Structures are given as C-alpha cells and as structure tokens.
A and B are shown apart, each in its own frame.
Chain A
Amino acid sequence: MSDTDGRIRLVILGGYLGSGKTTWLRHQLHDGYFQRALVIVNEAAETPIDDALLGGSDRLAVLAGGCVCCDAKQDLIDLLRRIADDRSRTVSTQSPLDLIVLETSGLADPGAIVEAIRSDPVLVYHIVVSEVIVAVDGLHGMSQLRSEPLSRHQIEVADRMIITKIDAVDPSELALLLATLKAMSPGAVISGAVKGESHNLPDFSEAIAETLPDFAGQDLKAPISPTRLYLDDSIDWTAFTVWLSALLYARGNDIVRVKGVIRTPAGRLLLQTVRKIVQSPEILPEQGDTREDNIVVMIGRGFTHAQLTKSLRHFVGVQAG
C-alpha cells in the first residue's frame, strides 16, 4: 500500500492570472504526464476557455462560473465527493482513478482549497493532496508580488514552483525573482519553463531577495473580478482589436487578463493577453463546442461591464451587449 492509503492523489496546479498554468499542463499532458489523471479545470468566469486547450487529457471536468477557493468551493466539494463515490463503486477489474489534477483559476488561493478538502469529513478518507504546484509568471511575477497579496498567498503554499516565460526576462530580474521566491518558500522546488517545456534556470545564489512591502494597514486596491463581454455578430475582428489594443495600452496594468474565442475569416481565434502582452492568437479547430465563441472574458479592476460595452460601441460603432 502506498503512502496515500488507497486514497486518490490530488495535484493542485495554481498560479496567478496569466501565469501559464494551462500552457504548462497542456505540455505535460502532451509529454505523457498525468495521462491517467482526471483533469479538473476551474475558471472564475462563466465562460470556460482552458478546457478547449486540454484535449490531451482523456478525462476532463470543468467547473466554471466561480473560483473554487471561495464562491464555488461547495461545487468542488460536491464534484470530488461524486468522483470518490463513483470510484468506490468501480469493480476491481477496471483500473481505478488514482490521480486528479485540479487547475485552479488565477484568482484562487490553493491553501484555501487544501483546507477545504482536509476539513471535509468525507473527502478526507478518499482524497489526499499530494502536491501544490504554482506557476509563476517570470515576466510579471515580481510586480505581482509587490502589489497583489493573492500572489504571495499562492507562493507560500507551493511545494513546487514553475517559473514560466523565462526566455522573455532579463537575467538579473529573473535572479531577483528567484531569490525572492526562495526566501518566501524555502522548501519549494523551483524549475523553469518556456511555453510549457522545461528549461534550466540561471544560477541565482548571488542574488539578494527583495524585501516586499507590507500590506498590513494599507488600503488595498479594488478586488480583481471577471467580466464577460458579448460581441455582436456584426462585430469584426479588426474593429475589436483597434479598441482592445488602445485599452491595453492605456489600462494594461488593471486589465490583468483577457481570454476568448473569436470567429474571424481566418477561423476561430483564441485571444489571450496578460497585462499589456498579447499572445499570437492560436487558430482553434472548427469542431468542438462553439457556443462560447465571441464571448470575451476580461479580468481586472477599475471598470464595469456597462462601461466596457459602452466604450466598445462608441469607439468602433458596433453593438455589444
């Protein structure tokens, strides 16, 4: 019997908005890791996007419309109880589920999820959290640590940290980030990744960790929340991108993440941004669930849904509602 006592191992994959969780997981699945696992994807917005990218998984469940560390915690508990129950009924000739990978939303504190599972009287006998992996954005991680309490909570509970996008970071800035992370979570294993692939990290033994500002007693900024923007059928990609590029230029620090699938003459384009950085849109295959096309999720602070729709309409002269 393993040290899990026959319980299902649960790997929690967390990390801040746009840190590269899905990209990393997608590559792991492609490389054959977590093959027999059930992958659960949680998205704070009601429009799931990441599940479309995780086709490498045989078994996939989506929890959308709330973060499982807070609003949708009960949904997660209910789902895990159902999974545990189904597994208990599995006949011995079938290979039982022994691993779950939970990809959290970027707004989740993995510590709260661990606590919720450990304190559930049923799940504690069925599921054991085996590892908390946290993706850290190599490019924006340092500024997130300086300004966002949530990003620090995520680091503090990590068993393993994957530093992403390390090819895009200045070596001295990367060393500062690594030293700061090491000081915050000395026991965690740190590794590097570029587009999901493992990459060696530079030596940072000489780097000195930054002393992060104390949030206690300060007025924190407004919370980050998701908004869904419906694009009318008449909207064209060009007009939308003129508006969005201006918005990101002016407000990129407050619009932390934009995700959506937009239909264009070139096909279904997956649009993803992290602050002011826009990924080259991927062309998604035509098959699959297209009901969520032309809905863009914008996650950030300092704007309302009404303001965004008005702005888009006035800016480019199209309807959005």
Chain B
Amino acid sequence: MCSACGFPAAPGHWTEAGAANAHDRLRGRFRRAQVLQRVLPSYQLSVHETTDIPGIQLSTMTGSQSIVSHLDDVWALAEKVNGTPVDPLDRRFIGEE
C-alpha cells in the first residue's frame, strides 16, 4: 500500500501476516503443517516440520523430498505430482456425491 495514504502492510508472505512475534510465527508453522498434513496425504504428499529449516518440507510417496518457500509452491508441487490441483471445492472436501 502507498505509505502516504494507506495503513502499513504486514511484512513477509501474506499467509504469515497474522503473527505478531516469534512465538506466533513458530506456532503458525506448526499449525500450517498440521492443516497440510490433513490434506496432502490424499494427494500423495506429506509434510514435515522441523523448525531448523526455513520453508516447508514435503516428501512424495516415492521418497523424493523438496523444500518450498511458501504455500503457493506447495499447491504447485501437488498439482505437478497429481496432474490436478488440490481443489478445496472438490467432492472430498464438501461431501457431495
């Protein structure tokens, strides 16, 4: 946003904007991994969170590993592995047959 007429923008990737301090950021990383781990196994991926590595650690079912910097890259990798994107409006998430 324009620094003259707007309010300050939160730094970093937009998904990390909710953290006020280092504790929030750490909690956010674990929470992010928890949500991703609910979703990604059915897309042949799993997530691993260790706080010593920046980024998001992903591995495929065949064992290949990647570290990506933010969530957009996670969804891009999931699409590459599966040939189709993770769609939150897919039947598996909205319970429609």
Binding site for B on A (CB under 8 A): 23, 26-27, 29-31, 53, 56, 195-197, 236-239, 241-243, 245-247, 249-251, 262, 264-267, 269-271, 278-285, 302-303, 307-308, 310-312, 314-317
Contacts and interface: CB of A to CB of B under 8 A. Distances in A.
A250 B85 contact: yes
A247 B88 contact: yes
Given A27-B2, A238-B28, A316-B38, 5 more contacts: A26-B2, A249-B79, A265-B19, A284-B7, A307-B89
A234 to B, nearest CB: 12
8 contacts: A26-B2, A26-B5, A238-B18, A249-B86, A280-B1, A280-B10, A282-B9, A302-B89
Contacts of A246: 39, 71, 75, 85-88
Contacts of A285: 7
Nearest to A239: B35
Contacts of A53: 6-7
Contacts of A245: 15, 71-72, 75
Interface in B8-39: 8-11, 14-15, 17-21, 24, 27-28, 31-32, 35-36, 38-39
Give the 10 A-B CB pairs with smallest separation, nearest first.
Answer: A237-B18, A264-B18, A30-B5, A280-B9, A241-B15, A249-B75, A250-B87, A265-B20, A250-B85, A282-B7
Question: Which of B11, B88, B96 has the largest number of chain A CB atoms within 10 A?
Answer: B88
A308 B90 CA distance: 11
A251 B75 CA distance: 12
A243 to B, nearest CB: 6
Nearest to B23: A265
Contacts of B5: 26-27, 29-31, 56, 196
Interface size class of B (residues with CB under 8 A): 35 or more
Interface in B73-95: 75-76, 79, 85-89, 92-95
B17 A237 contact: yes
B89 to A, nearest CB: 6
A93 B47 CA distance: 70
Contacts of B61: none
B77 to A, nearest CB: 11
B89 A311 contact: yes
A242 B14 contact: no
A5 to B, nearest CB: 34
Contacts of B35: 238-239, 242-243, 315-317
Contacts of A242: 15, 32, 35-36, 39, 71
Given A246-B75, A247-B89, A249-B72, A282 B10 contact: yes
A307 B94 contact: yes
B53 interface: no
Nearest to A247: B88
Contacts of B76: 249
Question: Which of B8, B15, B17 has the largest number of chain A CB atoms within 10 A?
Answer: B17
